[in-house]
Chains A and B, each alone.
Chain A
């Protein structure tokens, strides 16, 4: 698969956008500005950007609480995502969802499902609708190594297999389910091996190598579009931050973190781009400055936005309410 220079630079820009957006969220949370729980995807940018690169209008992707970046890559306005994190009425969900449910349905970016497991079955409903409508679209579910131990992962993937659905299961395997390491989670070395039990293709790759991610997901997406059914892809990666902001991470060593920082997906990609003469160091500076201006704008928009009116408590409960909502 040959990517154009523009596509390569676009992938770089997506990863930088995620990194800067998430870093800003980290700072705002630390400053006490953002309420609630925050889970950051810093370090996992290639998984998100590389996957979304393969999706087109009408495709669906649902992820977990760690993937604000998926929304950004799908074209959901960063301003609306940031406003949602603040709880403002201009947020993607009018401030009624927050970090764990921010979404862009029009852009095919589902609400992040903050209960692990259900997304691995719900993906199949979207995939079934695609198949029924014969529209060649796919449905992707992106989740962690922890969620792959839920029964619903197994029920879902079996369903996708036997109904031959265009569902793509992508595991961002960052090695920990909150604090619990792989050694306490699974006996199999590779989570991708679980695909064999369901008679579907499964592959494990380096999730911090964006080109490999793009190419591997592309293959699975192509197969699904052509009626070839589901796939399981395991992306080996690492989260630089704790499970949630405020997590003191007593379960891992600094050496381990530093060793993964050496595999930074963005720095690695910069080297590839400069080695191939596609960009210069100066270009990186320009892109980073442009992205910073965009993130500044997101923050300002969120700060300046109004809070939701109290009437929002009572709306959106039913589509059609024959009775009344008790107040």
Chain B
């Protein structure tokens, strides 16, 4: 099978969905001629000059276009340049789009709220505390919202296409450090539904649930520990809302141990919820307390020597796994 990058997978998904539905449109700061700050939409503007739109620096204005157009039945795919900036548009996620269907009692003629907000997520670019965060933990409690958090080119393309065809508000988290990684993606069309956690590697001694960059680190760890005879199962939830707990709980019932790995700070980490639901759903099976491998509760430091330690490493994940095996 051919291999393409995550960025190429996104571009293909957008292009295919724009071909399929003439009311899909892409817009945001610098997404047009410039191709987006990370080059993800490169070439899209040339193909659809009327449907790839540059905006001024006005995130709430962007979300206004998004919600109104979505309620009108169009399919907006806005981009906000860094996931850190979702704080600026929080009202549109927390009080508007995610609640509108409920507050209006799902009236005939609305209330559609189908849009996909693409946001580059995560650390590793030496961009300091305001341009490096993984923001999923801020979004987890928002009822009515969906969160996609893919880690591979295959999942990214399939989930983005699936999200665009849906009719719910979706925040689509794209990790910046993964844009360039390559992976197999078939030429033919496919979709990856939400709420379908993927067992990226089977194992029997411990379940590791990880997202985005941490999926890749956990897979590397699994290989390293295999040499010691420790068999690690790695699960990527792929979407955090809705969350496929069934796959995770079944895995823990088998391995009897759980480590969750997420790039963001530890307190109220998005994956804490997974650990708690495992305790509720598989308490009698657990042979050790679940362990969180997450960042310290600090802003992200700029200096490369500091950031490299702030972001959890393979060794940190191994330490977490060993904790459950004591």
A122 at the B interface (CB under 8 A): yes
**Smallest beta-carbon distance B136→chain A, Å:** 16
* Contact assessment for B242 and A124 in the assembled complex, using a CB-CB cutoff below 8 Å: no
Indicate which residue in B69, B106, B146, B242 contacts A125 across the interface (CB closer than 8 Å). B69
* Contact assessment for B109 and A128 in the assembled complex, using a CB-CB cutoff below 8 Å: no
A47 at the B interface (CB under 8 A): no
A10 at the B interface (CB under 8 A): no
* CB under 8 Å from chain B, chain A span 143-196: 151-152, 155-156, 158-159, 162
Chain B contacts for A155, CB-based, 8 A: 58, 60-61, 64
User: Chain B's interface: helix, strand, loop or mixed, by majority?
Assistant: loop
Closest residue of chain B to A324, judged by CB?
B242
| Given A129-B72, A322-B195: A121 and B56 interface contact (C-beta under 8 Å) | no
| Given A122-B64, A158-B61: A319 and B69 interface contact (C-beta under 8 Å) | no
Interchain pairs with CB closer than 8 A, number? 160
* Contact assessment for B106 and A318 in the assembled complex, using a CB-CB cutoff below 8 Å: no
A316 at the B interface (CB under 8 A): yes
**Smallest beta-carbon distance B240→chain A, Å:** 10
A97 at the B interface (CB under 8 A): yes
| Given A115-B91, A132-B23, A322-B194: A125 and B105 interface contact (C-beta under 8 Å) | no
Indicate which residue in A91, A97, A118, A322 contacts B64 across the interface (CB closer than 8 Å). A118
Q: Provide the bound-state CA to CA distance between A130 and B65, in Å.
A: 12
Chain A contacts for B113, CB-based, 8 A: 319
- How many chain B residues have a CB neighbour from A under 8 Å? 54
Beta-carbon contacts of A304-324 to B below 8 Å, as 1s and 0s?
A: 000000000001111111111
* Contact assessment for B193 and A322 in the assembled complex, using a CB-CB cutoff below 8 Å: yes
* CB under 8 Å from chain A, chain B span 231-283: 239, 241-244
Query: Which stretch in A36-44, A99-107, A266-274 binds the other chain?
Result: A99-107
* Contact assessment for A105 and B108 in the assembled complex, using a CB-CB cutoff below 8 Å: yes
A123 at the B interface (CB under 8 A): yes
Chain B contacts for A128, CB-based, 8 A: 65, 68-69, 74
Chain B contacts for A117, CB-based, 8 A: 60, 91
Closest residue of chain B to A137, judged by CB?
B72
Q: Provide the bound-state CA to CA distance between A127 and B61, in Å.
A: 13
* Contact assessment for B61 and A129 in the assembled complex, using a CB-CB cutoff below 8 Å: no
* Contact assessment for A323 and B243 in the assembled complex, using a CB-CB cutoff below 8 Å: yes
**Smallest beta-carbon distance B69→chain A, Å:** 4
| Given A105-B111, A126-B72, A320-B166: A158 and B58 interface contact (C-beta under 8 Å) | yes
Question: What are 29 sample pairs from A and B whose C-beta atoms fall under 8 A apart?
Answer: A94-B105, A103-B104, A104-B107, A110-B71, A113-B96, A115-B96, A118-B67, A118-B92, A121-B65, A122-B68, A123-B68, A124-B65, A124-B68, A126-B69, A128-B65, A128-B69, A152-B60, A152-B61, A155-B58, A317-B101, A319-B112, A320-B167, A320-B168, A322-B193, A322-B242, A323-B195, A323-B242, A324-B242, A325-B143
7 pairs of A and B residues whose beta carbons are closest in the complex: A125-B68, A121-B64, A323-B242, A129-B72, A94-B105, A322-B195, A93-B105
Interface residues of A (CB under 8 A from B): 60, 91-97, 101, 103-106, 110-111, 113, 115, 117-118, 120-130, 132, 139, 151-152, 155-156, 158-159, 162, 315-325
